[in-house]
Structure 1
């Protein structure tokens, strides 16, 4: 096992220079983060029923009151210490949050008879622990409703920890913004394998916790490792101004599509004077495109919706809380925070386009753009999660695309082919490594990483190249203010130093969300798994009748494209009778068509071989595909 290394002199110098430029710290954020503390559980440790740890805040005990280590950016160290606060907190009488049990917060609103649960975390175990803690201190109350603020998994994945099938059968409502299910499936199922693998880099999932490893995500401590599920909403909020009364609690909604998530909403509780800003205003600069991958967000719309929230709610707000970090109390503090967050995203948008219209490209803008002094003086505008660097590139991409206009970049070689040519240009592997080592010794880690990357892709087995690349990425990680940048760099270094043995078979990821998808989304997910090369000119047509849901879909393949059509099928389509659960099992390759026919859970009015052949054309994605080489 190759251990992480110390900070170099160049890194220590960079940390000191950054520390000298940080805003003054009066301790106000630490007071806000602890305000309203009610209680917690020992070490913030949460286990599965079989004894596996899914969350453990004691792993971050190294972030005590001591000085910042040289291996951690001093600004990120401060944010990490703020995110160590964990337990149940009173936001205002009737409104409580559990923070520090996952990367996100879960909020409990006390109604006349029960609890409205807002954003039930990433995993069921953590959500259940949070609900248990709430009940321990505030009394036994049933869950009367669940609200998903938006379509990211850390705000719905733990829902099975707070509700049961019996609750759903009894009519418990799950409320979400319009388009929630479509967007949740788009990110976490259609692109789920690639996005989840990249998320391991972004959140440091396999890094050791410590001053040379994962310290914080900026947005919160880390992502929990428990059971992830998805229960579709029963009610959608479609327009701003819509009001609901749930368990005696009135809620006024503001829909904010295209902001931090494609489907997102803020809402206000008049009787509590409490404004929930979802993930649209949190204590940092957020992402306009995430490193794990996502649709580029609309910075202009984001700013506009925050401005609308000010008009709608600021004069009535006594406390502002969100799905991450800590609240702001008082009308003036809430309004000031909203205004600065509003202007933060508008500034990044406007100034990126100003420079683009002068002819600068995305990377050039990223090197030049800096916040104005009024925004730079605030802690909550710093790049602990998103950064100015990749957010300016996101704005550029949204308006102008990936192509920068230079025809030399229109059809570049892929990394492996380009790598071979660059190594030859450098005079061979040893000559390239010599130049890269000189750059490393000079503290130019960005250039070291760039040139050694060519050799790593040209020859992934070259351990000298891999180890030098790892050393460069490690120092870049130590210097990063952004938690995701740090985790990406350090995870890359870890995988370079410890290559994973190849597998002859795909190693699929978790299937928890797929199991709960409605039929239409299940069929949609199959379309991106059809291997077009193998399908070729083959055609299929089936008429699927779902005996449990009463739905009917035509399923066909032509031109190597899988299509599903509700309510009708192609002429001559072969009738098939099955349940949604059988479709799930087929999709996850937990059974075969032949086995389901033999078991009597699937009936085909004709030759079942064609349906079996279709499912054999479905790829199984390997979660552990290589990223760094």
Structure 2
């Protein structure tokens, strides 16, 4: 869902850093989905309970005759303990097993609460569990943690956050922040039962079929409870256009794999569909409709991007040209609350062809500082660039203002003013963006730019 710019508040530079952007179309669009992740303990069937809004992710309990198997552990130990307490109002059966749909910390971070219940719990995960975290660690890409904090909005004041697109704007519990993209679950909570592609989990009268189903991560699985035709999709589906690329930085999320995995979920013909985030779907017709919409949306973006690549289009062109067809763009299930179509297009391009867009002029481009100097000379000087940037922001052209401000900064001229101007432009972009991760990232960067500008006043030599 891309808001109509004409419906947004006037795009003037925000003087008050604590403005909440409450009257932008983008902000209203995000607020309209808050009900999808309000805290609720859903009795999906007489044997499946789903904890929604207990932390960032959705997790579930499958009840058997003599025990319980959980699917995912939630994101925060305290929140997961609260969900277990609610479960205890329904049954005192022991929790014998825990199945991880994948290794992201928002699905594994609550495991301590399950270990408190049963220190000998069986924990199931695919053999490649945690591949993404291992790759970050192996390559020393520590920058991903800082970018992850920006994306999550953890460095922002609450008034700058609405929600995160698929969950409430929750902050980490004390001592859990280190579990970022390059981190992982408590070492005690790593899987002690693993499988390569497919397995059967049988505990306490519960039988679950688990199978490899790559998508948002390469360690993603599908979990199938055949007795009541409940499928657990993990993060291959939630009520938003999928996050085909995480702006914190990530390896290529193979989009064709993701499309095929959604189709495998649909082929189960489930009566109930539990998502990795937001409330589940119930009823065979509603489940099938949702999966049909999701499948068509993913395949459309993938196929149109491939077609554009084959026509010689660059990623910059395709990011603006590939859009969902009107019927899918209007479906709330594909609103760009968490994932973003244009970011997905760029990911597909780079994931398949790499960084080079095929244009010979882009094979060895000028250093940004050199390019800025030449553009400044054409414009009539760096002061002219700065004035044009100011005019662009006043005219509501925040993206162009930010790009011009970057050129001024590259030349080391009027640095304090350019930092503040870029911060204003970046904040304005954030207020008018629906995608929550993008809003968070932009607002955080604006905050950092203002801090840098303030430090220049305190220390003029910096």
- Match of residue 196 from structure 2: 238
Structure 1 residue 174 and structure 2 residue 132: aligned?
A: no
Q: Give the whole-Å Cα distance in 2 for the aligned partners of 1:188 and 1:75.
A: 37
Q: Give the whole-Å Cα distance in 2 for the aligned partners of 1:104 and 1:294.
A: 19
| Counterpart mapping for 1:422-433 below 5 A | 422-423=375-376, 426-433=379-386
| Counterpart mapping for 1:8-407 below 5 A | 13-15=6-8, 69-70=23-24, 72-79=26-33, 81-83=34-36, 85-135=38-88, 137-164=89-116, 167-168=118-119, 170=120, 172-187=121-136, 190=139, 193-210=142-159, 213-222=160-169, 224-226=171-173, 227=176, 228=179, 229-230=185-186, 231-240=189-198, 242-257=199-214, 259-311=215-267, 313-314=268-269, 317-407=270-360
Task: Give the deviation of 1:390 after TM superposition.
Answer: 0.8
Q: Give the whole-Å Cα distance in 1 for the aligned partners of 2:351 and 2:247.
A: 15
Query: Residues 74-101 of structure 1: CA distance to partner in whole angstroms, max 9, x if unpaired?
Result: 322212x224511322222221122223
Q: Give the whole-Å Cα distance in 1 for the aligned partners of 2:217 and 2:158.
A: 29
Q: Give the whole-Å Cα distance in 2 for the aligned partners of 1:319 and 1:377.
A: 24
Q: Give the whole-Å Cα distance in 2 for the aligned partners of 1:380 and 1:414.
A: 41
- Mark the CA change 1:192 to 1:103 in structure 2 (over 3 Å): closer, same or farther: farther
- Mark the CA change 1:414 to 1:462 in structure 2 (over 3 Å): closer, same or farther: same
- Match of residue 446 from structure 1: 399
Q: Give the whole-Å Cα distance in 1 for the aligned partners of 2:196 and 2:368.
A: 44
Task: Give the deviation of 1:180 after TM superposition.
Answer: 0.5
Relative to structure 2, which stretch is displaced further, 150-159 or 455-464? 455-464
- Mark the CA change 1:435 to 1:328 in structure 2 (over 3 Å): closer, same or farther: same
SS in 1 for 2:147: helix
Query: Residues 185-234 of structure 1: CA distance to partner in whole angstroms, max 9, x if unpaired?
Result: 22467556222210111111111223xx1111112123541224333211
Q: Is the 8 A contact 2:147 2:248 kept in 1?
A: yes
Relative to structure 2, which stretch is displaced further, 354-363 or 189-198? 189-198
Q: Give the whole-Å Cα distance in 2 for the aligned partners of 1:188 and 1:88.
A: 36
Q: Is the 8 A contact 1:123 1:224 kept in 2?
A: no
SS in 1 for 2:318: helix
Q: Is the 8 A contact 1:126 1:224 kept in 2?
A: no
- Match of residue 478 from structure 1: 431
SS in 2 for 1:370: coil
Q: Is the 8 A contact 1:239 1:254 kept in 2?
A: yes
Task: Give the deviation of 1:12 after TM superposition.
Answer: 6.6
**Whose Rg is larger?**
1
Q: Give the whole-Å Cα distance in 2 for the aligned partners of 1:100 and 1:151.
A: 19
SS in 2 for 1:262: coil
SS in 2 for 1:243: strand
Task: Give the deviation of 1:447 after TM superposition.
Answer: 0.6
Q: Give the whole-Å Cα distance in 2 for the aligned partners of 1:501 and 1:437.
A: 19
Q: Give the whole-Å Cα distance in 2 for the aligned partners of 1:184 and 1:289.
A: 16
Query: Residues 6-38 of structure 1: CA distance to partner in whole angstroms, max 9, x if unpaired?
Result: xxxx99724389xxxxxxxxxxxxxxxxxxxxx
- Match of residue 464 from structure 1: 417
Q: Give the whole-Å Cα distance in 2 for the aligned partners of 1:499 and 1:140.
A: 55
Q: Is the 8 A contact 2:104 2:130 kept in 1?
A: no
Task: Give the deviation of 1:425 after TM superposition.
Answer: 5.5
- Mark the CA change 1:287 to 1:433 in structure 2 (over 3 Å): closer, same or farther: same
> Which structure 2 residue ranges, 5 or more long, are not aligned?
11-18, 180-184, 456-462
**TM-score relative to the length of structure 1:** 0.64
Query: Residues 570-594 of structure 1: CA distance to partner in whole angstroms, max 9, x if unpaired?
Result: xxxxxxxxxxxxxxxxxxxxxxxxx
Q: Give the whole-Å Cα distance in 2 for the aligned partners of 1:288 and 1:299.
A: 7
> Which structure 1 residue ranges, 5 or more long, are not aligned?
1-9, 18-61, 503-629
Task: Give the deviation of 1:373 after TM superposition.
Answer: 2.5
Work out which structure has the larger RCO, using CA pairs closer than 8 Å and 6 or more positions apart in sequence.
2
Q: Give the whole-Å Cα distance in 2 for the aligned partners of 1:94 and 1:68.
A: 41
SS in 2 for 1:286: coil
Q: Is the 8 A contact 1:446 1:476 kept in 2?
A: yes
Q: Is the 8 A contact 2:7 2:25 kept in 1?
A: no
Task: Give the deviation of 1:160 after TM superposition.
Answer: 1.7
Task: Give the deviation of 1:478 after TM superposition.
Answer: 0.9
Residues paired across the two proteins, number: 434
**TM-score relative to the length of structure 2:** 0.86
Q: Is the 8 A contact 1:237 1:255 kept in 2?
A: no
- Mark the CA change 1:208 to 1:83 in structure 2 (over 3 Å): closer, same or farther: farther
Query: Residues 314-370 of structure 1: CA distance to partner in whole angstroms, max 9, x if unpaired?
Result: 1xx221111101111101111111111112111111000111111111110111112
SS in 2 for 1:268: strand
- Match of residue 16 from structure 2: none
Q: Give the whole-Å Cα distance in 1 for the aligned partners of 2:414 and 2:95.
A: 55
Moved over 6 A (4+): none
- How much is the aligned-residue C-alpha RMSD, in angstroms? 2.8
Task: Give the deviation of 1:421 after TM superposition.
Answer: 5.7
SS in 2 for 1:499: helix
